Amino acid sequence: MTNGKECKRIILSRTDSIGDVVLTLPLCIRLKTLYPNATLIYLCASYTQSIVACFAPVDEILTIETLIEMDALQRKNALNADVILHVFPNKIVAKWAKEARIPWRIGTSHRLFHWWYCNKRVAFTRKKSMWCEAQLNFYLLMPLASITIPALKEIRNVEDQFNVIENQVLYANYIILHPFSKGSAVEYPLVSYVQLAKKCVEAGYKVLITGSVAEAQKIGSSFDNLNDVTNVAGLFTLTELIPLIKHAKGFVACSTGPLHIAGALNIKTIGLFAPRKPIDPGRWTPLGTQTHCLVFDPNCQICARGKPCRCVEKIAVQHILNYLLS
């Protein structure tokens, strides 16, 4: 298998969120390096499909929603592959892969259902690891090839493999602030984003406020009275948001999907984090060479005990601005 001659079709399964999907790009690149003649199929959720479509190493896309609608024979044909990597453990996908008789079914040994459905299991844990998520994904290659976990600096620069479908850019010289995270992270206060928006304008930039339709309601009229600040939350699909991020001069958010898109596109990306595991920046640092992850106190004792903490709210607005303008 390691020489690539027997490996014609590889499925990488990651059916969870945007940021998690973006952090698999280095793994996609490595798979294409190991098996340049193989077809790489990415199994994702439909709402992340437009992200996966930007990944140059990916040859085909399958969505879990499409597989759900298929009958057993159709699903078996769709999952025709030599290898499947369960990067995100999904019990139903693991079951389908075994039913499809994929020869190499690789998953973590820490999921009970992988003992039922996977025939290659790798012992590693994500929750308490010191590795970044993008590095942890490489453990799943170990049954296929003799590898070591790469240093983060070796896999950060992925911009040339991230092909963005351009559309008309309606703005110029702008910074994006993305205040909310759908609950995936400890969030920076909205009032502080308002202060940051004012300072960005004073520095000569326009500011765009992005977010989902639901987040637009939470943002409300917070930015309405600020000159050169435009609230576009809820106005763009994910497909439209990607080029909007690509042409930004900077991007600020807590740990959420669009932050990882910005990092991968190699724009100035400022992530606001709590140091509490497993949501700390060591685990969830975005890709890219212009990424900066800020915490208020890396030695916060409340976070060290794993307790809920709002220390991220104490990160100074001026501190964020300094990184944006550096």
Task: Give the CATH number, domain containing residue 295.
Answer: 3.40.50.2000
Would you say residue 131 lies in a domain? yes
Q: Name the band, by pLDDT with cuts 50, 70 and 90, for residue 2.
A: very low
Q: For 196-213, how does the pLDDT look when each residue is reduced to its tens digit (9 = 90+)? A: 999 999 999 999 999 999
- Judged against a pLDDT cut of 60, whether residue 3 lies above it is answered with no
| Total of domains in the chain | 2
Among 3-12, 250-259, 286-295, the least confident range:
3-12
- Whether residue 121 lies inside any domain: the answer is yes
What local confidence, expressed as pLDDT, does residue 196 receive?
Answer: 98
**Shared domain check, 113 and 180:** no
Residue 237 belongs to some domain of the structure = yes
In a domain, 290, yes or no: yes
Determine the average pLDDT of the residues in 209-226. 94
Per-residue pLDDT, averaged over 248-266, amounts to: 97
**Mean pLDDT of the chain, nearest integer:** 94
| pTM for the full predicted model | 0.95
Tell whether 252 and 305 lie within a shared domain: yes
Whose tokens are 């400022």? That residue is 270
Together in a domain, 178 and 317: yes
Task: Tell me what percent of the residues of the chain surpass a pLDDT of 70.
Answer: 98
Please identify, among 155, 183, 211, the residue that sits at the C-terminal boundary of a domain.
155
Reply yes or no on whether the pLDDT at 130 is more than 90: no
Asked whether residue 268 carries a pLDDT value surpassing 60, the answer given is yes
Residue 97 lies in a domain: yes
202 is in which domain, residue-wise?
174-325
Residue at 123 is within a domain: yes
One domain, residues 145 and 234: no
178 & 318 share domain:
yes
Q: Count the neighbouring beta carbons within 10 Å of the beta carbon of residue 282.
A: 17
Whether residues 232 and 149 share a domain: the answer is no
Q: Are residues 90 and 187 in the same domain?
A: no
| Domain assignment of residue 163, yes or no | no
Average pLDDT (291-317) is 94
Instruction: Please report the pLDDT score of residue 192 as a whole number.
Output: 97
